[in-house]
Amino acid sequence: MARAVTKQRKTLNTLVAWAVGLLIFFPILWTILTSFKTEAQAINDPPLFLFFDWTLENYGVVQERSDYMRFLWNSIILAGGSTLLGILVAVPAAWSMAFVPSKRTKDILLWMLSTKMLPAVGVLYPIYLLFIELGLLDSRVGLTIVLMLINLPIIVWMLYTYFREIPGEILEAARMDGASLREEILYVLTPMAIPGIASTILLNFILAWNEAFWTLNLTAAKAAPLTAFIASYSSPEGLFYAKLSAASTMAIAPILILGWFSQKQLVRGLTFGAVK
């Protein structure tokens, strides 16, 4: 039976939801607002909310001082490359775990996830040494592989969950119909799992885009993405809040826009299978 919701109750719910939403969004909003202030206004006490002299000066300075496009391009390559590479590895892995499970499948899944519980800094040193040894430091190739590996458990888990929703009989039918393993995955499984694969790609793109620990530690100039771009405005310069905010806004804008346009897909993908 549907619970009766009174009108007042509904209004209250809406207000609370908006309040929580604004609270979460506020830091981002504040960053965006600050990026349009002068440095003096940015540290004004009391803080200025909307009534200040809006200026684009900071953006000009940031663009003048560093090559935004190069960082953006690196971010796109790193996030896109690591996600695609991850999908290519994860689809067969998730296939085997979802459709030919063994006694150990659950353990392997948990083991994979457990690597995400390890603090990244714990393996920084060995990986750093490996990168020096292999000449991968500050290279897009090296960073793409590292980003792929750190997000791989999540990709496999998500795909595994989606694949589990696909009836095994359909894949058996494909096998009876003469499809090879490759054809079965390519023509039957993948098209059926497209919504799930799409959300996985989106989420991982976002995760890789926002990843800062490895991108900051393993890059210098050549392969540095937008996270490094923001960081370059934080420490050595002293406290230039407005410019830092402008850089941050420029760095998060692309992913924010992507997230905005794909939110339906993202929500659908993340709640996939939860409700029948």
Partner 1 sequence: MGRIVLEKVKKSFSEVTVIPPLDLEIEDGEFVVFVGPSGCGKSTLLRLIAGLEDVTDGTIRIDGNDATSIPPAKRGLAMVFQSYALYPHMSVRKNIAFPLKMAKMDQAEINRRVENAASVLNLTDYLDRRPGQLSGGQRQRVAIGRAIVREPAAFLFDEPLSNLDAALRVGMRMEISELHKKLDTTMIYVTHDQVEAMTMADKIVVLRAGNIEQVGSPLELYREPRNLFVAGFIGSPKMNLIEGAEAAKHGAHTIGIRPEHIDVVEAAGEGVWSGVVGVSEHLGSDTFFHIHETGLAETITVRADGEVSLKHGDTIHLKPRADVIHRFDAEGLRQS
Residue 112 C-beta: closest distance to partner 1, Å = 25
- Between 95 and 233, name the residue whose CB sits nearer to partner 1: 95
* Upper half-sphere CA count for residue 10 (Cβ side, 13 Å): 5
| Shortest distance in whole angstroms from residue 159 CB to partner 1 | 17
Nearest CB to partner 1, comparing residues 70 and 175: 175
Residues forming contacts to partner 1 in the complex (CB under 8 A) are: 167, 169-170, 172-180, 183, 187-188, 191-192, 194
By beta-carbon proximity to partner 1, the closer residue of 189 and 251 is 189
Q: How far apart are CA 33 and CA 242, in angstroms?
A: 9
Q: Tell the smallest beta-carbon distance from residue 162 to partner 1 (Å).
A: 14
Nearer to partner 1, 92 or 195 (CB): 195
Per-residue burial over 17-29, b = 16 or more CB atoms within 10 Å of its CB, e = otherwise = eeeeeeeeeeeee
With a CB cutoff of 8 Å and minimum separation 6, the contacts of 272 are: 161, 162, 165, 195, 196, 199
SS3 content of the chain, % helix, strand, coil (to 5): 75, 0, 25
* Amino acid at the residue 37: K
Of the pair 20, 173, the CB lying nearest partner 1 is at 173
Instruction: Match 């905005």 to its residue by tokens.
Output: 260
Smallest CA-to-CA distance from 246 within 106, 63, 24, 22 is with 63
State the minimum distance, in angstroms, from the CB of residue 193 to partner 1.
Answer: 10
- Minimum Å gap between C-beta 139 and partner 1 is 39
Q: Which is nearer to partner 1, 46 or 167 (CB)?
A: 167
**Least gap, CB of 245 to partner 1 (angstroms):** 46
The first and second tokens of residue 196, run together, are 């799930």
3-state secondary structure of 35: coil
